[in-house]
Amino acid sequence: MVSVSLLQRLELDRVGAERSDRQDESDLLDSILADLVVTLNSRKGCCETRPDFGLSDFNATTDYRSLIPSIARDVERQLFNFEPRLRNVAVRHVEDKTRPLEFIFHVNGELAEDDLPVSIAFHSVLGSDGRMRVNG
């Protein structure tokens, strides 16, 4: 069974909150999105024990449009390696001419549960500030 992080489970136990299945699923998705914000805003080499953790630094070029496939592959690789609660993840670029300074990536996947597959979808947006936002 997929669940929220250990610290989140401890907090729920401390509060003693009664949860419904729908609240549990919502908490799980919130937990995944919160972890992805951290993962996708980390840079490769920031963690000595896992040098592959974090996105590559794509600021070394002025031709950002040519990097879109590389960024999408890097996002997909980070999700595969560092978010075990997801499976069958696919990342694709979404062109939005009204937001020329942002790269928008649509992410599809499933919760990694043994039961019935639960599909999820969200957008990750690489802004002009170099930060990745995750919109559920």
pLDDT digits (tens, 9 = 90+) for 108-128: 999 887 677 788 899 999 888
Report if residue 37 sits inside a domain: yes
pLDDT digits (tens, 9 = 90+) for 27-86: 888 899 999 999 999 999 999 999 999 998 877 666 777 888 999 999 999 999 999 999
Question: Which CATH number does the domain housing residue 98 bear?
Answer: 3.10.450.40
| Enclosing domain of residue 121 | 6-135
Structural domains of the chain, count: 1
C-beta of residue 87 within 8 angstroms of C-beta of residue 109: yes
Q: What interhelical angle do 6-15 and 21-40 show, nearest 10?
A: 140
Report if residue 77 sits inside a domain: yes
Which pTM does this prediction carry?
0.77
Residue among 1, 27, 132, 25 nearest 78 (CA): 132
Alpha helices for the chain (secondary structure H): 6-15, 21-40, 68-82
Report if residue 41 sits inside a domain: yes
Report if residue 1 sits inside a domain: no
Q: How many CA atoms lie within 13 A of 131 on its CB side?
A: 6
Q: In the structure encoding, which two tokens stand for residue 93, read together?
A: 């670029």
Report if residue 105 sits inside a domain: yes
